[in-house]
Structure 1
Amino acid sequence: MHLIIRATGAGAGMLSHLLAKNPNNLYDRTEKEARVRIVFTASSEEVTEAVIYVTPDPVELVKGDSQAHNDITQYINDREFVTSSLFCTYIRAALGTALNGKPKEAYVHWVKEPLELALSFGPVASNLPDHTVEELFGALGYEVSLERGDAEYTFALKARSSARYIRLKGKQTLQTALQQLFVLIPALDDYKHYYISDDEVDKIRRYGAGWLEQHPQRALILKRTLRFGGAIRQYEEMAAKELRTAGGGPGAPADIPVLEESAPGGSAEPPGVQEAPKVRLNDLRYEAIARTVGELDERASIVDFGSGEGKLSARLSSVPGVREIRAVEPSAASQLRAMERFAKLEGRTGTVVPEPVTGSLFYFDESLRGRDVMILCEVIEHIDEHRLDRVMDTIFGQYGPKTLIVTTPNKDYNTVYGMEQEEIRHGDHRFEWGREAFSAWCSRWTGAFPYAAEITGIGEGSAEYGYPTQMAVFTRGEQLQ
């Protein structure tokens, strides 16, 4: 992970003074378990370039996490490599003088002097489409170019890769440019590794002063940096107070809808356009699946694949006629939380306690074969499309459940949430299908195996865009081929 700052033309030589770094010396420090180095690759009155390079300690990244030793997924992430909120945390101390605009007295007047800057940083892992990334920086007056790595793939993934290098060119003060990056880099990544407190709200207010209030993507930036409605409202109140103090007139900017955070094993859901729904879409999904299971003639044995923390399995435990539930999940941390949830069901009349099973859709488990019901609730969109065929072949051809229930987001409905065409609801989604694509996918499998499929919707429907969640119920015929 790196950031390159290059100044050219008038005042370029002031870059080292504004950064408070000697261009002839290597800056090499350890900040928060990461090695931070700054080296000047050019230093003259015409061109000065500083390269900031960070190498985190991958072991320290998971130390102190009480759940880390239980979950192999801690090793399968990009936190060690991508330019994210972690990167900003690592370099904040090194760039504190420039961020706060407090160089030595002889150079203070240069804090407010715009420089011809070229900023390059990455890789950034973002679920935002290219045009949205370009809008975020273009609105600030930068020329924006995006680059992807040179790796070659055997299938067309490069163009869809979320990892990009971002290059910006424009005339801006160094302090403002850095403050913009410290707000927008975490917004691009949409991941915060720390608790969002009052200090975080104040930081966004300070770093966003003079540009964030007028940014056309302001709602998106706040949603992805502050994340929660309470924090955003706190920011709005502070901004409105400052506006009134400055004589800008009464009234705060409009409230901004918030994208709910996803729980492990679940999917984040956008809010309604006018107001947050009284019932969460996740709860509506569980209710619809439980109702569907309750109406089946054969429902004694259930396999809940990708069960996460066990919320759906726990909901199904009280459905009459259900005798066995196997909650299959690869994440040990999620399973521990599921076990705590299942333990609370012990001794309840008319309730079957689900059995946690460590497993994956990519590994065949003979014990799951021939069950009455198999469920994939918000699971398939987390699987690469080119790997999904193998999963479905295994389910229909080897597990052969009497009924398979699949739910997945309806991409058509994203328009109702005000999302861009290329935008997806959750950073881990590999794809999202509209109604036509989902219907065609279901027809493909009913044509290949002796199953019939019924497609329905879940949530508040739209005459034009359908329902936020689409559900397919595959029912096996009398004879398996």
Structure 2
Amino acid sequence: MLITVTTTMAPATDLGFLLHKHPARLQSFDLSVGVAHVFYPEAAEDRCTAALLLEVDAIGLVRGRRGPSGDGFALGQYVNDRPYAASSMLSVAIKEVFRTALTGTCAARPELAATPIPLAIRVPSLPCRGGVDLARRLFEPLGWTLDATPSSLDPAFPSWGDSRYLDVRLTGTLRLADALNHLYVLLPVLDDGKHYWVSTDEVDKLVRAGGDWLAGHPDKALITNRYLSHRRELTAAALARLAEVDDVEPESLDNAVAPTAEAAEPERPTPLNVLRRGSVLAAVRASGARRVGDFGCGEGVLVRDLLAERAVEKVVATDVSARALQVAARKLKLDRLPDQQRARLDIFQSSLTYRDDRLAGLDAAVLMEVVEHVDPPRLAALERTVFGQAKPATVIVTTPNVEHNVRYETLTPGRFRHRDHRFEWTRAEFREWAESVAAAHGYAVRFLPVGVDDPEVGPPTQMAVFDVMAHPAIDPETAPTTTAMTAPTSAITASTAAATA
């Protein structure tokens, strides 16, 4: 991957002082992702260009991978765009190679480091989830003029349209340190992904790199959310710190990234995850359940709410991810829970696609934003496990309404809300699936909206509440499970594309 920085100030070769890299030398740097090279394709008094070329060690990255198993396809770990397209790896190279320049210090030319200079920056292959319009929204408020040309998916097939890769040229008069910090933050934001685990340290990095300009940016919530890999707690912390810099109240993340039909109202909308948990808890209360399962509990947010319900005597929390259960244990402070409270909770690892007798005997089970994470061919197994074998009296299922995705300004067409979603259903598809499951396993089902029920595209989340019938007409142990309607072909195809992106 390549990026070039050009200036026409006089003398232009002073760019070498600002970057702390001599124009007459080729310099190479070993990084965790490969080798970075800095060189000058041109170095004259009237025009000077510095190039940063990053050679990514794709094989080494896979060998050293410590991420979760099954993340993407095995071949996709080796064959992808990461060695060629500007991403968080290039941001790391900018930080490591131009560390002093990023701070805006230059002992040899201190006055030059503080002076805006004419700059032209080119990133020939920039992945941008949001297209040219989003790139312009992010760069132009910072003083840049942006010229971007999309690359076609295949020149031989023009009808396929454009890819998400842009040839970007930025021109403006800025301090070099500001320009480098803009790139350091915005490259992974436009790509909407990072090659490493995002922790609390990333908040400090973002505030340090963006403190002088991000606080006043009109899209600071979007930038912050993407930079921190959509981790809500980190995003909230970063926005609060940026608000201190800008001396304003922190923005509502949900208002910024998920506007609703009532966005014109002056009060801030309630976050969708809060509305979703409230709807689920209301359904649990209405069922009168005393033993409740949270199937696919993740990091335990709903578990905490269920434990706060006095009428709930037992909570069974399961997830297929051991790491998610570790996080849940930490957030729930299991080691410090009073004995009486701890006795109310069973939390363990389990897969909903395999029979597990520990899931039986419940009054209600919740699958909150779970089914869309299951591969379509495995949905029939989930149906048998939950509705046929565990068979709680009430099952509550929530899932995104894909029709509502057009209301999310930052979500590009055809892209799912989460990179791990295998599909997202329309209201008709969800209703068809739910009614089929109910008929096969002896349940009655009703449907409820979660969030603002948009008259055109429906609510952001759809919920189905299954109640077991006292005298089912069909034996659920022998009834066939319908799989033909588990997910539309287009959703499966889009899921495959999202997994390989």
TM-score tier, shorter chain, comes to 0.5 to 0.7
Describe the SS at the equivalent of 1:114: strand
Q: 1:339 to 1:234 in 2, by over 3 A?
A: closer
Distance 1:190 1:379 in 2: 22
Instruction: State the AA in 1 paired with 2:118.
Output: P
Aligned to 2:68: 73
Q: 1:365 to 1:300 in 2, by over 3 A?
A: farther
Amino acid paired to 1:438 = F
1:36-82 CA-to-partner distances (Å, cap 9, x unmatched) read 522438346588562332769869999xxxxx9xxx6389599x978
Q: Which one-letter code corresponds to 1:364 in the other structure?
A: Y
Aligned residues of 1:143 and 1:169 also touching (Cα < 8 A): yes
Give the aligned partner of residue 42 of structure 1: 41
Partner residue of 2:318 out of 313, 328, 342: 328
The answer to whether the Cα contact below 8 Å between 2:132 and 2:166 also exists between their aligned partners in 1 is no
Task: Count the aligned residue pairs.
Answer: 425
Residue 95 (structure 1) aligns with: 98
| Deviation of the 1:379 alpha carbon | 2.0
Residue number in structure 1 paired with 2:489: none
Matches of 1:206 and 1:60 in 2, distance apart? Answer: 38
Q: Retained in 2: the 8 A contact 1:223–1:256?
A: no
Q: 1:311 to 1:132 in 2, by over 3 A?
A: same
Letter matched to residue 390 of structure 1: P
Cα distance in 1 for residues equivalent to 2:88 and 2:403: 31
Tell whether the 8 Å contact from 2:28 to 2:35 is kept in structure 1 after alignment.
yes
The root-mean-square deviation of aligned C-alpha atoms, in Å, is 5.1
| Residue of structure 2 in register with 1:154 after alignment | none
Contact persistence 1:223–1:258 (CA under 8 A)? no
The separation in 1 between residues aligned to 2:120 and 2:337, in whole angstroms, is 64
Query: Which residue of 2 is the match for residue 180 of structure 1?
Result: 182
Residue matched to 1:204: 210
| Map of 2:251 onto structure 1 | 257
Match of 1:376 among 367, 373, 383: 367
Task: Mark the CA change 1:165 to 1:442 in structure 2 (over 3 Å): closer, same or farther.
Answer: same
8 Å Cα contact 1:455/1:472 also seen in 2: yes
- The residue that corresponds to 1:236 in the other structure is 246
**Residues 27/300 of structure 1: CA separation in 2 closer, same or farther (3 Å cut):** same
Question: Which 5+ residue runs of structure 1 have no aligned equivalent?
Answer: 63-67, 151-157, 238-251, 262-267
Question: Match of 1:391?
Answer: 378
Other-structure match for 2:498: none
* Equivalent position of 1:141 in the other structure: 145
Amino acid paired to 2:379: M
Instruction: Give the match's secondary structure for 2:277.
Output: helix
Equivalent AA in structure 2 for residue 258 of structure 1: S
Aligned partner (choices 341, 357, 363) of residue 348 of structure 2: 357
CA distance in 1, matches of 2:350, 2:16: 54
Instruction: After TM superposition, give the deviation of residue 293 of structure 1 in Å.
Output: 3.3
2:157 aligned residue: none
Q: Secondary structure at the match of 1:53?
A: strand
Instruction: Quote the Cα distance in structure 2 between the aligned partners of 1:159 and 1:471.
Output: 36
* Contact 1:112–1:173 (CA under 8 A) maintained in structure 2: yes
Counterpart code for 1:145? T
Match of 1:118 in 2: 122
Q: Distance in 2 between matches of 1:445 and 1:134?
A: 47
> Aligned with 2:68: secondary structure?
helix
Tell me the residue number matched to 2:497. none
Deviations 1:417-451 (A, max 9, x none): 76567476556555555544533443454576654
Equivalent pair of 1:380/1:408 in contact (CA under 8 Å)? yes
Give 1:168 shift: 0.8
- Cα distance change on mapping 1:60 and 1:312 into 2, 3 Å: same
Give the unaligned 5+ runs of structure 2.
155-159, 229-234, 480-501
1:306 alignment partner, one of 270, 291, 296: 296
* Structure 1: distance between partners of 2:259 and 2:323: 25
Match of 1:455 in 2: 447
State the distance in 2 between where 1:308 and 1:354 align: 15
After superposition, what is the alpha-carbon deviation per residue over 1:257-316, rounded to whole angstroms, capped at 9, x for unaligned?
33269xxxxxx9779844445x7544443343344234447x576542211233323544
Q: Is contact 1:304–1:374 with CA below 8 Å preserved after alignment?
A: yes
Whole-Å separation in 2 of the counterparts to 1:380 and 1:398: 13
Task: Tell me, in whole angstroms, the C-alpha distance in 1 between the residues paired with 2:56 and 2:410.
Answer: 35
Contact 2:27/2:39, CA 8 A, preserved across alignment: no
- Equivalences for residues 148-159 of structure 1 within 5 A: none
Provide the rounded CA distance (Å) in 2 between the counterparts of 1:457 and 1:145: 41
| Letter in structure 2 aligned against 1:143 | D
Secondary structure of the 2:354 match is coil
The amino acid of 1:395's aligned partner reads L
2:276 is equivalent to residue 285 of structure 1: yes
3-state SS of 2:340 partner? coil
Note the C-alpha offset of 1:407.
Answer: 1.0
- Counterpart residue identity of residue 171, structure 1: T
Aligned 8 A contact 1:137 1:144 in 2 = no
Deviates more, 1:393-402 or 1:97-106: 97-106
**SS of residue matched to 1:308:** coil
Contact 1:309 1:338 in 2 (8 A): yes
Q: 1:243 is matched with which residue?
A: none
Comparing 327-336 and 12-21, the one that deviates more: 12-21
TM-score, length basis structure 1: 0.66
- 1:159 to partner: Cα distance: 9.5
Q: Percent identity?
A: 26
Contact 1:346 1:353 (8 Å CA) reproduced: no
The answer to whether the aligner puts 1:405 opposite 2:378 as a matched pair is no
